[in-house]
Chain A
């Protein structure tokens, strides 16, 4: 196969696109916007997923004592917790340590320093053997009855729920991405099919004077690949722009919540892979369309 034939086919495809710049641009932007929707959703989900990875989702409960509970009270509670068959590990968090950690991880240090006494209670973080809701409710009720215990909180559950929602969201994004990928296949295919139909006289003549099916197909395939690649590139660009725009807002918000959440950017490798996938879909759409029309032409002769 002569490289010149490929160069000619590529040049022909570019010439056809350049001959209708507005239509070509609109087509690419529309496809790019359609592809950008799942891409932006995927980027946001990955960002949430990355932030949620820091959350402690192992089954545990926090046991908070009343504010006036002393060290002796804490020791008695600790003994009771360690004696429980439901506890696999018990970590004591003294009120002084809790205050120091709060000062270090939030912007409340000045406020906390102005207080005349530590408002935080002694607390325990207890790893439990079961995360089953009914069992947890029983444990919470049982440990709430211990002397000087104020609250028993199982706040790992929301982290687990968040992780499940992220997983669900990823599936939704994959489904939407697949559907919109198929849309590229059909939309590019339809565009190429229309071109084939409008160039029917030239194609039939070309075949009569020696063009093979590959010769006919080649420039349409390049056209499909170019359309797909440019649409994929547009989608990545749109998603990157939206991500950067959201990030500026997120950066302004997150310090207030002691969070390091940020919208992740799209790496060059990922961007190229996405554009490549879109190009492959354009190729496949063009192939199917040309093949179908050539069969129709052959049947009509």
Chain B
């Protein structure tokens, strides 16, 4: 298998001097599912944002699908982000739009036709079990449903890479398990999945490779 995401001595320092990531070198192969673990502030979210092209590395490089993100201009980077589904920790749902319209947003950006948008949005909602709630406003959905709606928005563009930042962070055990099962299902159909989670039990059940972070640095894998 070829590497879908490659971090080479990738570091990130935010304005103000906070060093979120220190010289991380790691690779994620195409079709692989990898979990990033670590305490709060370990740099998990920053690593995921670098992989998704939401943030740029301060030094080192991040290569996604053969493209060095540091070398891409703003427009090219934005276009690349369309091929990566991102599940945000805080969902980032639009509360003045219903479920259908929230999921349709990436397709509107891509300029798909109304018919194609309708088909793809309903397929995505069906995959996450929300087809019957397509007209519901986000405020009317439970926490688990909101997270699944966020996942539907992330997969509606049929991305090759799915990145999820603490997708089970605010969910009860049953809802969290359901969400992780969704990621497992996407992985099984060939999608490269990179997620962060505190849910050790859930990750054990997924049985995926883990990357550990402590204070922005990689933890060497246990022998």
Contact = CB atoms under 8 A, between A and B. Distances in A.
B136 interface: no
Nearest to A4: B111
Contacts of B88: 208
Given A213-B74, A213-B75, A214-B75, A208 B109 contact: no
Nearest to B53: A210
Contacts of A211: 78, 109
Contacts of B106: 209-210
B81 A210 contact: yes
A178 interface: no
Contact of B111 (A5, A208, A209, A213): A5
Contacts of A259: none
B92 A206 contact: no
Interface string A201-226: 11001111111111100000000000
Contact of B108 (A8, A207, A213, A214): A8
Given A210-B109, A212-B78, 15 more contacts: A4-B112, A201-B92, A202-B105, A207-B78, A208-B81, A209-B81, A209-B86, A209-B105, A209-B106, A210-B81, A210-B106, A210-B110, A213-B75, A215-B78, A215-B109
Contacts of A210: 78-82, 106, 109-110, 157
A167 to B, nearest CB: 50
Contacts of B94: 201-202, 205
Listed from nearest, the 7 A-B pairs whose CB atoms lie closest are A210-B82, A210-B81, A5-B111, A212-B78, A2-B111, A211-B109, A212-B75
10 contacts: A8-B108, A205-B92, A205-B105, A210-B79, A210-B80, A210-B110, A210-B157, A211-B109, A213-B74, A214-B75
Interface string B74-100: 110011111000101000101000000
Interface in B23-55: 54
B2 interface: no
Contacts of B110: 210
A209 B82 contact: yes
Interface in B54-81: 54, 74-75, 78-81
Nearest to B75: A212
Interface string A76-90: 000000000000000
B117 to A, nearest CB: 10
A208 B105 contact: no
Contacts of A209: 81-82, 86, 105-106, 109, 153
Given A205-B94, A208-B92, A8 B78 contact: no
B74 A206 contact: no
Contact of B105 (A8, A206, A212, A213): A206
Interface string A1-33: 010110010000000000000000000000000
Contact of A212 (B74, B92, B108): B74
Interface in B102-119: 105-106, 108-113
Interface in A8-60: 8
A211 B82 CA distance: 8
Nearest to A211: B109
A4 B108 CA distance: 10
Contacts of A5: 111
A108 B144 CA distance: 95
